[in-house]
Structure formats: structure tokens, C-alpha cells
Amino acid sequence: MSTSPGPNSRRYDGDVLSGDRRRPRKGAVAEVPLERGLVLESADEGFCGAVVSWDKQAVTLEDRGGRRRVFDLEPAAFLVDGRPATAVRPSAAPSGPARSASGSIAVQGARSRVARESRIYVEGVHDAELVEKVWGHDLRVEGVVVEYLEGVDHLPEIVAEFGPGARRRLGVLVDHLVPGSKESRIAEQVSSPGVLVAGHPFVDVWQAVKPSVLGFSAWPEVPRGIPWKEGVLRALGSDEEPGEAWRRILGSVRTYADLEPELLGRVEELIDFVTAAEGLQD
């Protein structure tokens, strides 16, 4: 897809990453307690779906096609049976154990474990921030530290310097790990029973965030030779700098359900690898 505006660019009109959505004017509206399965319709965007989760600031809806969107609870912007309503958190907490953002059972009041010698490396700061946002609780409970490489060009040297072994495992998350890519050729140079290189197919970790969470249907394609982030922002009609856009993207992620399964599986695989029982007992 060309990064210049074209006939299909209207679906991205209005800077979809800006968060500048119109809201209905405030008025006297009914308050509806949130509950799983409650059907809400966004008054300004027309998205209609059932409640699947919520927190202090936002609610996640899922439509009949399985698409999910996150909406702020305030100001009121919902319709219930066609009438304006304010969705509010129920006074009683939902039954069942609390869950972390990764979907695991949250360990209440647990202190962070002393860091293991094993580590997980990711390519860049955005990767690290996304992993922390979703898996941070799990990693602290397990005592796993995540560091970023600033690219994978020197991965073999970095692995050699780390010195992996039975009690010192290294998991590496790589972007764009597909046959024939530069990343796959570099990963093939790393061979050690104490190292697991796992990757997702996305050019950049931004693509691991489901586009429906951000309000559009698909991440635009960017021609070769154009910096990917800048090309994406141009195609989406956004004039933000990549760092500013990333803050908005990251802020839209609430739970694992907002991420693509190709990333979810790889991160879980790496966590399992570096916390495996064999040779890792304290």
C-alpha cells in the first residue's frame, strides 16, 4: 500500500491514534452497573458489544465477530437499549480469583522475587514496555528480568557475553522472525541448550496490538525503503511522532486479549523456558 493518501485512506481519516473522539453532551442519564455479558453500544462510534472485562478507567466490549474495543468509562458515551447510559463499576467485586493482565491468577500481596540469573531479552524499548504492561506481574512473581538489545545485529556476541548455561538461561524475543529475514539469519547463528530464540512475524511490535483495539481494521502495509513506523503513521493520517503514537498505542492495551496470539504464544514460551525447573532451583 502506498503511504500517500489514496481512495481507501478515508477509513483512517481523523487521526485514529489521536484519541480525539466526539462525546455526547452531558445530561441526566441512567447508571448501569457493569456485568459480563451486558450489551453496550458506543454512542459516538456505533460499536456494539458485550462486556468482557473492565477496570477503574475503561471497559472492554466484544462484538459478535469476536472483535474487541476498549472504551473509557467517563464521560458517559454508551447506549443501553437505545437510551443514553453511564456504565459504572459494580459495588461488589466480580466473583472468582483476580487475574493479572496476562490472564494468570494474580498473587495478592506477593513481593517481587529476587531476580534469577536467567533473563529475557527483547529487541527494543517498545517491546520491553509491552511485555511489562501485560506480563509484569508474572515476571515479578517469578523473578525474571527483561532487558532490551536495541536490535539483534550483534545477538551472537551478546549471547556469548551473557554466558548461558543450565542455571543461567536466556530467552530472546525477536521481531520479524520469518524465513529469509535478516533476523532469522542472525538467530540461526545462536546455538546453545541454554538459549531459546523465539519470534513473531510482525515487522514491529506495534503490529502485535490488535488494530481493532485502536479503532481501525488492519495495520497498513508500508513499501520497502520507507521507515515502518513513519510510514504507518502517515498512512493512518497521524502527524504524531513515533514516541508519542506509541504511548497512545500502549495505553490502549489493557490485557492479553488486546494482543495478537503470535506474540502471546512466544512470550509465554520464553517465560516457561527461563523458569523451567531443570537446573533452575535456588
Would you give per-residue pLDDT tens digits along the chain (282 residues)?
A: 333 333 333 333 445 565 443 343 444 578 888 888 788 888 888 888 888 888 888 888 888 777 888 888 876 578 886 778 888 888 755 555 677 777 776 776 656 566 788 999 999 999 999 999 999 989 998 899 999 898 889 999 999 999 998 889 999 999 999 999 999 999 999 988 999 999 999 999 999 999 988 989 999 999 989 999 999 999 999 999 999 999 999 998 988 888 999 999 999 999 999 998 444 444
Tell which residue, 252, 220, 263, 267, has the closest CA to residue 68.
252
Alpha-carbon distances, residue 44 vs 23, 50, 185 (angstroms) = 6, 17, 47
Q: Are 6 and 12 in contact (CB under 8 A)?
A: no
**CATH says 119-209+253-274 is which class?**
alpha beta
Q: Where in the chain is the domain with CATH 3.40.50?
A: 119-209+253-274
- Total residue length of the chain: 282
Burial class (CB in 10 A: 0-12, 13-18, 19+), 148: middle
Q: What burial letters (b/e) apply to 64-103, b meaning 16+ CB within 10 Å?
A: eeeebbbbebeebbbbbeeebbbbeeeeeeeeeeeebbbe
All 3 cell numbers of residue 145?
Answer: 528480568
Provide the pLDDT for residue 95: 54
Provide the pLDDT for residue 28: 57
Report the CATH fold assignment for 10-88: SH3 type barrels. (2.30.30)
Q: Are 175 and 127 in contact (CB under 8 A)?
A: yes
Provide the pLDDT for residue 186: 93
For cell 462525546, the residue is 23
For cell 443501553, the residue is 80
Q: Are 209 and 181 in contact (CB under 8 A)?
A: no
- Say how far apart CA 82 and CA 167 lie, in whole Å: 60
Q: How many CB atoms lie within 10 A of CB 62?
A: 16
Ordered alpha helix ranges (H), the chain? 125-142, 155-162, 182-187, 211-214, 228-235, 242-252, 261-274
> What's the whole-model pTM score?
0.66
Provide the pLDDT for residue 21: 39
- Say how far apart CA 198 and CA 266 lie, in whole Å: 6
Q: Where in the chain is the domain with CATH 2.30.30?
A: 10-88
> Residue 56: which residues within 8 A CB-CB, separation 6 or more?
89
Provide the pLDDT for residue 15: 53
